[in-house]
Structure 1
Amino acid sequence: MRIKLKKGNIKIVLLIITFIVVFIVLNNSYKVSNELYNDISRFEENLDYYVENVDYDDSFSPFFIRKKKIFNKISKGFCQERRNFVFIKTMKCATQTLVQIFRRFGYLRHLNFVLPRGNNIYIGWPFIPEKQDYRPSGREFNILTEHAVYNHTVMTKLMPKDTKYITIIREPFSHFKSTFNYFNVANISFVKETDKVSGYLQNLEKYESSYKRPNAALRYCIPDGFSVTKNQLSHCLGMPLGYPSGRENITANKMLVQDYIKHLDSEFLLVMIMEYFHESLVLLKRLLCWSMKDILYHTINVGNYGYKNTPPSAENLKIYQTWSHIDYLLYDHFNKTFWRKVISEGDDFQAELSEYNKVQSQVSNFCSDLSNKNNVTVIEESPYSDTFTISKDYCLMLGIDLLEYLKRRFDREEAWSEPENKTAVKRGC
């Protein structure tokens, strides 16, 4: 039997249907239902371990995470953590602290790292990576986090399609002072002036040539002709600045430099800012859907030197802004985009930042207090994290260098040993 509807009734029916559809969409978009909670629980219960028949005789084995997928709590519900990423480890930007976070994340999940060969700690840096620079693997790589120059072509071939790219940069003059100290520039360049930083800047060409001279003593890991004080951040991010000899040099072409910076902006999920380290970590947590526990850290490799907190004179600042002008363009661009990302996260970002500061302080105090007889500290549930515990054993993992652990695990599981090649030229360190 056919039902005939008047035009007015048809409009009412259509409005009702539209209302129902909109309600369903909004409900699914902004509310995590009990059904989703149950689905996640059932899914996690049935997950297989990552690797079968692997020797887990490891001092950190109690902390291993063997589920293939993890759903972490965020302010709007739950999301699945991202595990494939490249971290471009720039020099002297709190990167040793950051890389400990990344190594720990991958080590506990048994992820596959791109690792330097032999006893090297760099993946070809300051050169673009080549196959001779890293251990070959029969499995798909998940993480690249050791020192390597960014190159889109090389890394997209090496890493999975869903890989996210991350890095960190720093205000250029403070970066200059840190690298000047770390790479022993004053001694290697024979800076004679009492004020080493000012003396170097006032005589740039003279001391720069001295530092880069062939076979300079004590200049470990830095090849002839490479500058550690000029646009080093931009070099790490793959900008063609004329090194090594024969490579394109766009230093004098501001338009090409700006185009390259925009190119980086389109390819990197996040460029962190060292001066806003905790803001960077909370933003990282949100973008990669990690847990609060994943971004805890113990500060590593902090340099202390007499001129660390000494502000530059107006003249020296101007000299360095001219000398390393591309790094200033890079920093200015990503400092702005960083804060745009923070604002886009919404009003609760500052609340989560406050919660993270509190948690990090609690864990730091607990791990540093050797007289504390409590073996565990409990981090209470918040809108941004489930309840979790930190033990004294876990404190050890926050501070230990996991690179050698990762190499030993890789070599054992891949049955790989370094081939002898006496004719190979060593690249990097």
Structure 2
Amino acid sequence: MMLRKIKTHSTVTVLCALTVCLSVWWFALPHDKQEQSIGEDDKITLSEERQIARKASPKVNVYHSDQQEKEIRGSSSRERCQPINRFIFIKTEKTGSSTMTSLLFRYGLKNDLVAALVPDETYLIRYDKLAENYEILRYNCTDFPGYDFIANHINYKREAMENIIQGAKYITIIRSPYTHVRSRFFFFGPHKSFSNASTDSEAFLAYLKWKNDSYEQLGRATWGENSLSMRFGIYSQNPKVLSENFQKLDEELDLVMLTEYFDESLILLRKLMCWSFEDIVYYPQKVDRTPHPPITSEMRDFIDKLSMADIQMYDYFNKTFWEKVKSYGDGFDEDLLKFRSIKRDVTENCEMEPESDYCRLLHMDDLPITKVAYRRQMRWMCTD
């Protein structure tokens, strides 16, 4: 069956002759002598020779010749960069972070990267205050190459993170607190406690009033309304202190993505990491398509008070985000269109052949693909 080629922008010249093989990657998974595939339980069968896996082509043609890759990664007029394979993604809640986690683990599998994983295969990497270190799966062997990336829910502690991965790029994602608080309300279940309300709008408003009463009694904000800033150890409600904290955080983080501008964020990520367009193709995960009530002025007033830290954080990094877009140069809009064209064609191909290994992995949610990485590393790590 002919592979369907992804359309690239008209400025990308196809220099491959038909006699030249397409440069193809696939996951360097150790597997048994059986043909590698992704089974119904999300397992990947393994092979004796890791190199054999690279000979398997996905059903979707998303690959380019060396010349095309050169054009994708950067023109000859600027210094060529090398892909960065060490990164830490501080995953946040209800921000599109599951989609990002899936994307990053897929990149890790493709490039033989070693993920720092939770021992029990769950989401959260916990911090051991006594040991002053994170509770991650350790490999006690002489040939352990070290960890390459983290892409889990994890509280930001820079020194402890640097003890795990040195020289990493630090990335996270945040969203507008107004929709964030609403999303958490309907996703995590508090709305069930307000089932007596006649509408979802009344239930959400009743919740905000209840949280406001709690705020008045406690004299402080809670995790639910400021989980974005608190994820980074920022608990102050003082605007001046918050501003100083966010300035420091800005110096430490390489990219703060915005949920509302997900594709634009990925274009910035691609440039930061020197990755290809194919590396940032994604399939949306855990998208709540249930219509939620609009944010009224009364709701906004409550959220302004309850989520003051998160609002200030979002305002700060929303500004720096567009500064990065501006500094990207004139090619930003062109690259965004090119990426969306590639993503659209991948989506169409996977609709036609959803059972291909490539498409099934693309569609994997964050926990299943984390388990794939977990089993893979348990099979090939520390073989001496």
The equivalent position to 1:56 in structure 2, one of 18, 31, 39, is: 31
Match of 1:156 in 2: 162
Correspondence 1:409 to 2:384: no
Amino acid at match of 1:233: L
Output the CA distance in 2 between the equivalents of 1:196 and 1:208: 18
Correspondence 1:343 to 2:333: no
Instruction: Report how many aligned residue pairs link the two structures.
Output: 315
Q: How does 1:42-191 map to 2 (within 5 A)?
A: 55-57=30-32, 58-59=36-37, 61-62=53-54, 73-77=72-76, 78-124=80-126, 131=133, 133-137=135-139, 138-160=144-166, 162-187=167-192, 189-190=193-194
Q: Which has the higher contact order (CA 8 A, sep 6+)?
A: 2
SS for the counterpart of 1:145 is: strand
Output the CA distance in 1 between the equivalents of 2:95 and 2:128: 16
TM-score, with length taken from structure 2: 0.74
Closer, same or farther: CA 365–171 of 1 in aligned 2, 3 Å:
same
What is the CA RMSD across the aligned residues, in angstroms? 3.2
1:191–1:200 CA contact under 8 A, matched in 2: no
SS for the counterpart of 1:116 is: coil
2:229–2:309 CA contact under 8 A, matched in 1: yes
Match of 2:16 in 1: none
Output the CA distance in 2 between the equivalents of 1:346 and 1:365: 30
1:90–1:169 CA contact under 8 A, matched in 2: yes
SS for the counterpart of 1:229 is: helix
Output the CA distance in 1 between the equivalents of 2:55 and 2:126: 32
Match of 2:274 in 1: 289
The equivalent position to 2:239 in structure 1, one of 235, 254, 257, is: 254
Match of 1:382 in 2: none
Correspondence 1:333 to 2:316: yes
1:114–1:143 CA contact under 8 A, matched in 2: yes
The equivalent position to 1:394 in structure 2, one of 349, 358, 363, is: 358
TM-score, with length taken from structure 1: 0.67
SS for the counterpart of 1:237 is: coil
SS for the counterpart of 1:140 is: coil
Output the CA distance in 2 between the equivalents of 1:102 and 1:196: 36
SS for the counterpart of 1:200 is: helix
Match of 2:289 in 1: 304
Closer, same or farther: CA 256–226 of 1 in aligned 2, 3 Å:
closer
Correspondence 1:367 to 2:350: yes
Point out the structure with max Rg over C-alpha.
1
The equivalent position to 1:199 in structure 2, one of 206, 223, 234, is: 206
Match of 1:275 in 2: 260
User: Which region of structure 1 is more displaced relative to structure 2, 163-172 or 55-64?
Assistant: 55-64
Q: Give a deviation string over 1:257-276, Cα, whole Å, max 9, x none.
A: 11110111001111011111
Identity of aligned residues (%): 29
Amino acid at match of 2:379: R
